[in-house]
Structure 1
Amino acid sequence: MITHDNFLLKLKKISADNNNILCLNLALGFSLNSLSINNRLISSEQLELIIKNTMGEDTFWDMGIPKGQAEFLVFGAAYSTKPVHALSVNVSVGEISKTLMVFGHREWTNYGASIARQFNLMPIKYNYAFGGNGFELNPDGVGYKATIGTLLPNIESSEELLVSIEDIVTPAGFEPFPPNWQQRSQHFIQHPNIDFKMDSVTIPDDILPEHFNTAPNDQRLSGFFNGDEPIQITNMHPLYPSINSKLPGKRLRVFAIQAEEDKEVLNELNIQSDTLWVIPNLECGILQYRITIKINSDDLQDIKFLLIQQEEINGEIRPLEYYANNIIKRYKEAPSNADLYSKIQFTMAAEDLSPKEPNNRNNICSQYKIQLPPPELKYVPQNNASLNEDPELSTMFIEVQKEVSKIMEKLNLNHESLESFKKHREQSGLNSYPSGEEVINYLRESGIKSPELEVLINKANQLLMEIEEDITAENAPLNNHKEHENNKTK
């Protein structure tokens, strides 16, 4: 494991779908205390201690494999400043809200459940929830196969309360399910010999990303964390009945320089935040991120350099080229024979990588002999707003752009021809966007011929024509009305 200021980082090699992947599991700790809103991040030393003294490292890191969707997990207890027989606790993250009912100790009598004893503190753990020996959904719980005198569970879902001694309900809690419980083990029953917690693991085809989720279903989001979702917690702190906070508002970006055949390529990696841990009594939250990169060698020697940058989520998202010079400079200054952990660097703000002067793509490539991914080839209608008025057409158009970029990358086109074409048009006084036909003719004149590329450019051009025709048709009644009004004025 590697530590840096506010981060903990653990690596894992995964083989899946005939691809070898390196997964970087990164943890970022932050304070839930609104008083420290301008200095919310927790040091890596504090973070290690919090993990060790609460859920433990094994539970925290779990399998270290990207999940199918984001989820939140809570490690804590119900608190009351005065003795109570029962109270509710609630945790809300973004649009997901969950409430549990917490009771003092009760037992079954001939007349039903006894009056709950008073309490000030009750751990929210599964051994206080419904279950018991032989109950596969919670073998550690209480209340299963109850008789007179049997204890009732202290923790119940507000949506599913026990009514009679024969009732069987879903175990209620906020913590992750252990790997050997049915909620999780059912997905891996066909692969008993695979230890998914190993640092290197092969994932069978029938194992899906959502099988690595560990939280109850009602604590799972439809997608992944954006990074600034609100957090509300009720009755889970010894002093504060209510905590109102939010995620730390940080955007992480990860850049990698990787060897590919006879060249080195600089790319930005995919990153998703899929797990939030909340420890209310310590006023602490921990976000876990998964960063993935395809690898070409078992010893990871093809990964030359990794840089993890922390930005403010409401700041400008700058393109890779903006930072390229400084990223490559850091790479050139790093020890060439270092192990992978030593090749990973962190920056705390976008300004750390901001260039003193604008970067030029061609200068970067020629100076450092490192290839940048081609920018997307864009053809847009003269009226930029038109494309945004129809989300479906806009989405289709973006897909065409991506396909064109793929073909250009395949043909090793570096867009120099298009740049000179653009300058030529500007010098000729043509400021409108070029048509597909113009671009194709210019590429042909430059000695570049590709039927695949021409087909895609024509598709893009045809789509734009259809968009503009639709918009012209929509605006026709309005234009006719304006013309009529002008004639009346005259």
Structure 2
Amino acid sequence: MIEIQPHPYYQLELTSGWTAQGETAEILIGKASYQYDLEGYVQPLAESEPLSQSDEYPEDDPEIHAPICFRETVPFKYGSEIVMFATAHCAAPRSGFNVEAALSTEEGIQWRKMLSVMGPRTWKSSLLGAAYSDPEPITELPIRYEYAFGGRNTKKEHDVYPTNPVGRGYVGNGLKKTDLSEVLLPQIEVPGDLIKKPSDTPEPQGFGPIPPHWHPRQAAFASLDEEKAASREKYPYNGPLPETAYHSAPKNQWFDKSLHGPAKLTLTGLTQGVPEHQPLTIDWTIPSLTLLWKTRSFEDHITLKADTLVVDTEKRQLHLLYRRAFTQLPKRLMAELHVVEHGIVTEPEAAHG
């Protein structure tokens, strides 16, 4: 049996799974965790955070909440993605302000996303039809889908907005004008493209993970064969899965390339203690991992690059996830882990099986 011995810094797990094409595989997953300060200086945590095995929700209720944690031990991902758990901050109460996150890497990833956050608003009647009230002042707002566009029709229990059932602003069918005052408007939107009328259905906005039971992620798993799943077969789907089936981030936070080498993360309006107009720039190097698989007759070096960056702006932490599928592994082997950073290879830690 193959076993991965504990590493003093990296979290490592070898688990059974499959490739996007349905081929049975052993999946090696690694995790590295870092702390950054208000100057943008990055250093490793004494021990990386444990790998998350499942989605988790406030009050353990996925019907009314978005995830506070997502499953990290998925079998595969295409390219890479960034997932952010973030809160918008400003120094003094304001009706609204913009926040921004940006990422650039040596691999050619250039990403930038700006959101408008504002205080609570409701619809009100006017001579020209429905209008929204002035936003109440706020100093902070969690960037969560509960505050983005979506939600449920207050008069029809099963009429929900499929891309964000837990949000606010969705009117649906059958609401009267007198009912609109009960509908809260979204507090997270795209700058310059704010909701204008009750019938608008904009794309829900956020930085955080989208659960697999929401559209469009749900469609990626439509080929699930319930009989195969019930019999616990290795691959319970009829046909290949999309290569992006296990991406948790919004689509505009996916990248075709892996995460590797010098990287710059810039956060504006997302750090308590830093003025909302002042960017916090985090420069650090995303390391590669090199594995040396060994048996008496077999030896192979394999380089792993990160496929997921998780940012927690409240804890000021960064987490990198590494993943590799092995479709053919000897039953007994030794694996040595090397960390490649700034051109320096650290001493290996052995994993025995």
TM-score by length of 2: 0.78
Looking at structure 1, the residues matched to 167 and 84 of structure 2 have their Cα atoms a distance apart, in angstroms, of: 18
Measure how far apart 1:49 and its partner are.
Answer: 11
C-alpha displacement of 1:287? 0.7
- The aligned counterpart of 1:243 is 280
CA distance in 2, matches of 1:281, 1:49: 19
Instruction: Determine if contact 2:225/2:237 at 8 Å carries over to the other structure.
Output: no
Alpha-carbon distance in 1 for matches of 2:45, 2:200: 44
Instruction: Determine the structure 2 residue equivalent to 1:175.
Output: 208
Percent identical pairs in the alignment equals 21
Map 1:215-364 → 2, pairs under 5 A = 215-241=249-275, 242-258=279-295, 264-296=297-329, 302-312=331-341, 314-315=342-343, 342-343=351-352
> What residue ranges of structure 1 are gaps of 5+ in the alignment?
318-322, 332-341, 345-490
Q: For residues 223-260 of structure 1, what are the alpha-carbon distances to aligned partners after superposition, in whole Å with 9 as ceiling and x for unaligned?
A: 111232210001111111332103444221111114xx
Structure 1 residue 58, shift from structure 2 partner: 9.1
- Residues of 2 paired with 1:25 and 1:178: CA distance? 20
The question of whether the paired residues in 2 share the 8 Å contact of 1:224 and 1:274 is answered with yes
Question: Which one has a bigger Cα radius of gyration?
Answer: 1
Structure with greater strand percent:
2
Counterpart among 13, 16, 19 of residue 13 in structure 1: 16
1:264 Cα deviation (Å)? 1.8
Whose helix proportion is higher, 1 or 2?
1
C-alpha distance 175-44 of structure 1, shift in aligned 2 (>3 A): same
88, 107, 112: which one pairs with 2:98? Answer: 88
Describe the shift of the 1:4–1:35 C-alpha distance in structure 2 as closer, same or farther (beyond 3 A): farther
**Match runs of 1:31-180 below 5 Å:** 31-33=35-37, 37=41, 40-44=43-47, 47-48=49-50, 59-94=69-104, 95-111=110-126, 112-133=131-152, 134-145=160-171, 147-149=179-181, 150-158=183-191, 160-180=193-213
User: Per the alignment, do residues 24 and 281 of structure 1 end up closer, same or farther by CA in structure 2, a change over 3 Å counting?
Assistant: same
CA shift at 1:309, angstroms? 0.9
SS at 2:146's partner residue?
Answer: helix
* Distance in 2 separating the partners of 1:124 and 1:51: 23
Q: Deviations over 1:159-186 (max 9, x none)?
A: 6421112111001011111110012110
- Post-superposition shift, 1:51? 11
Aligned to 1:29: 33
Q: What is the rounded CA distance, in whole Å, between the counterparts of 1:211 and 1:190 in structure 2?
A: 12
Change (3 A) 1:207 1:50: closer
Unaligned runs of 5+ in 2: 59-66, 105-109, 153-159, 173-178
Secondary structure of the 1:182 match is coil
Whole-Å Cα distance in 2 between the matches of residues 222 and 117 of structure 1?
Answer: 40
Change (3 A) 1:139 1:217: same
User: Is residue 2:222 matched to residue 1:209?
Assistant: no
CA offsets per residue over residues 382-430 of structure 1, 9 Å max, x none? xxxxxxxxxxxxxxxxxxxxxxxxxxxxxxxxxxxxxxxxxxxxxxxxx
Which range moves more in the overlay, 131-140 or 61-70? 61-70
Q: Give 1:91 shift.
A: 0.8
Residue aligning to 2:176: none
1-side partners of 2:292 and 2:194: how far apart? 50
Q: TM-score, normalised by structure 1?
A: 0.57
Say if 1:78 and 1:89, in contact at 8 Å, map to a contact too.
yes
The 3-state SS of whatever aligns with 2:314 is helix
